[in-house]
Chain A
């Protein structure tokens, strides 16, 4: 499997890895059959100018190098964004930010964006 340097970096030193003790939204996606499980925690703050922004974000992942790298990358991309902006992050954004993923691993990047959307949905439900 040929991974980019960015994927290796995020995989070996993941960003925002951990839990949020008092999250405003939690999303978990994936299943053991395919081998990837991702959980994203978000904290949302109201910014006077921009509205609801993701002030804190953490992830936990059981999965391959791609799965860990894409989870890590998406937390980077989402942090500080508004809820609306974060909802629009696509799997291609994640893959691009990582300087590309092997084609068979694209589903991992898809999973990361799904996990984020699930966390945002959870936040909206609990508001």
Chain B
């Protein structure tokens, strides 16, 4: 990575060397289709079996409860639409509209899915609010539960601001509530940003469904999985062959899956050590930025946040400009500004926190990874200061003036 500094690990991660080594033979040597009955297929299937077992060990479930997908977006779609499809297939539910509870700041694949289902009239949806600390209240969730509530979907760690949602608490609540109901409420957690840093024992979490992606944990892009607890009423949304216990049709992406399996094995071995290391680095970064840079704020809870995430808002600058200036200095980060996303509205996550639009526009997400060093962070802060000074000169006092004129 020469003299460039990558601080966007929440967007994606480089494939770990041991992962790459493990998957290479499966491109051109052991290239068989894992569904084929001959030895070519069986060799690929054997390696996939190992990957599946690794995942089951890591998440503390059985092999049959691991469904391989193309990534968390597909897993989230399968979780929500698959549950709904199963619900509608049941003749008992004919004419009934089920209720889904989720949050205002889910990843767009969950939000868009829910919004479309609402629009089509297939489901009612409640979007739980988040508060300035970036965390939902379990009491809000409890109040939102209705007679027709079918599914609760809450992301474990928010991808933009890194705040942690009370998944295990929600699991306990839903177990309690479901005990008094004929049909249990299905609980789905998008754990994409949580896998590396938080408890993912599915029994302790009390989840029925859990999504994750390989490329966030030093595995290849295009592979992920959905944990599906035995007995969960869900059906496939991608029709075709009978792969993945008839839950997800399509030739298995051998290299992706094997890569995912190896990545989770590597993660499992080093998880606690990595968490400690990265937390220290992140704390160093946050302290340095808050101390040495004027007019900055940290977005979301200081304590209940992912060890690798720091999301800041800098006044009087806009995110895309900040990002491009930093890019010119060889530094990669991301932003919640509208201009960078190709839409005209800023990050829905930051707005949901209660930030003013300009605070959302002037935001930067810095996410660390296992290759981040203290030196990189020191250089980053120095360059950030330089870039901020330049951009703040360009904007002068015009924001202040805009608001004083409005009064």
A and B part of one assembly:
yes
> Are B358 and A64 in contact, with the CB atoms below 8 A?
no
Contact A32 B356 (CB under 8 A): yes
A-side contacts of B358, CB under 8 Å: 32, 35, 62
The secondary-structure label for the interface of chain A is: mixed
Q: For the complex formed, measure the closest distance between the CB of A111 and the CB atoms of chain B, giving whole angstroms.
A: 12
What residues on B are CB-neighbors of A34 within 8 Å? 338, 344, 357
- Tell yes or no: A39 within 8 A of B by CB: yes
B357 touches A37 (CB 8 A): no
Contacts of A66 in B (CB 8 A): 339
Chain B 382-407, CB within 8 Å of chain A: the 1/0 string?
Answer: 00000000000111111101100000
The verdict on A62 contacting B324 (CB below 8 Å), with A1-B340, A32-B402, A35-B358 known, is no
Query: In the complex, A62 Cα to B317 Cα: how many Å?
Result: 6
Interface presence of B318 (CB below 8 A)? yes
- Closest residue of B by beta carbon distance from A60: B396
In the bound complex, residues from chain B placing their C-beta under 8 Å from that of A104 are 342, 344
Inter-chain contact A60/B339, CB cutoff 8 Å: no
Find A62's partner among B338, B344, B395 (CB 8 Å cutoff).
B395
Question: A19 at interface (Cβ–Cβ under 8 A)?
Answer: yes
The reply to whether B321 and A65 contact each other, CB–CB distance below 8 Å, is yes
Name A7-52 residues within 8 Å CB distance of B: 11-12, 14, 17, 19, 28, 31-39
Given A60-B394, A61-B394, A62-B395, A35:B328 Cβ within 8 A: no
* Docked-complex contact B328 and A32, CB < 8 angstroms: no
A68 at the interface (CB under 8 A from B): yes
- Chain A residues whose CB sits within 8 angstroms of the CB of B102 once the complex forms: none
Set of chain A residues within 8 Å of B74, measured between Cβ atoms: none
Asked if A63 lies at the interface with its beta carbon under 8 angstroms from chain B, I say yes
Contact A14 B402 (CB under 8 A): no
Q: Are B394 and A68 in contact (CB under 8 A)?
A: yes
Beta-carbon nearest neighbor of A108 in chain B: B339
Contact A32 B357, CB 8 Å, known A1-B320, A62-B318, A65-B321: yes
B395 pairs with A64, CB closer than 8 A: no
- Measured in the bound complex, the distance between the Cα atoms of B324 and A34 in whole Å is 19
Interface flags for B312-325 (1: CB within 8 Å of A; 0: not) read 00001111110011
Residue B220 CB within 8 A of the other chain: no
What residues on A are CB-neighbors of B396 within 8 Å? 19, 39, 60
Which residue of the partner chain A has the closest CB to B396? A60
Identify the closest chain B residue to A39 (Cβ): B398
What residues of chain A lie closer than 8 Å to B325, measured between beta carbons? 12
| Contact with A61, one of B357, B395, B397 (Cβ below 8 angstroms) | B395
Q: Enumerate A43-102 residues with CB–CB distance to B below 8 Å.
A: 60-68
Q: Give chain A residues whose Cβ lies under 8 Å from the Cβ of B165.
A: none
Q: Is B337 an interface residue (CB 8 A)?
A: yes
Q: How far is the CB of B197 from chain A (nearest CB, A)?
A: 31
Distance from A67 Cβ to chain B, minimum over Cβ atoms (Å) = 7
Q: With CB as the reference atom, state the residue of chain B lying closest to A37.
A: B398
Query: Is A37's CB under 8 angstroms from B395's CB?
Result: yes
Contacts of B216 in A (CB 8 A): none
- Hey, what's the 0/1 contact readout for B331-356 against A, CB within 8 Å counting as 1? 00000011110101010000000001
Cβ–Cβ contact B321 & A63, under 8 A: yes
Asked if B99 is an interface residue, CB under 8 A from chain A, the answer is no
For B399, the chain A residues whose CB sits under 8 A away are 32, 37, 62
Once the chains are docked, how many angstroms separate the CA of A37 from the CA of B401?
Answer: 11
- Report the separation of the CA atoms of residues A19 and B344 in the bound assembly, to the nearest whole angstrom: 28
Find chain A residues with CB under 8 A from B318 CB: 35-36, 62-64, 67
Inter-chain contacts of A28 with B (CB < 8 A): 398, 401-402
Q: Collect the chain A residues with CB atoms within 8 Å of residue B394's CB.
A: 14, 17, 60-62, 68
A-B contacts besides A64-B339, A65-B339, 16 pairs, CB < 8 Å: A1-B339, A1-B342, A11-B324, A12-B328, A14-B394, A17-B393, A28-B401, A32-B357, A32-B361, A34-B357, A35-B357, A35-B358, A37-B398, A63-B321, A65-B320, A104-B344
Show 10 A/B contacts (Cβ-Cβ < 8 Å), sorted by A: A19-B396, A32-B357, A35-B357, A37-B395, A39-B398, A60-B398, A61-B398, A66-B339, A67-B339, A68-B394
4 smallest CB-CB distances across A and B, nearest first, come from: A64-B339, A32-B358, A62-B395, A35-B361
Chain B residues with CB under 8 Å of chain A are: 316-321, 324-325, 328, 337-340, 342, 344, 346, 356-358, 361, 393-399, 401-402
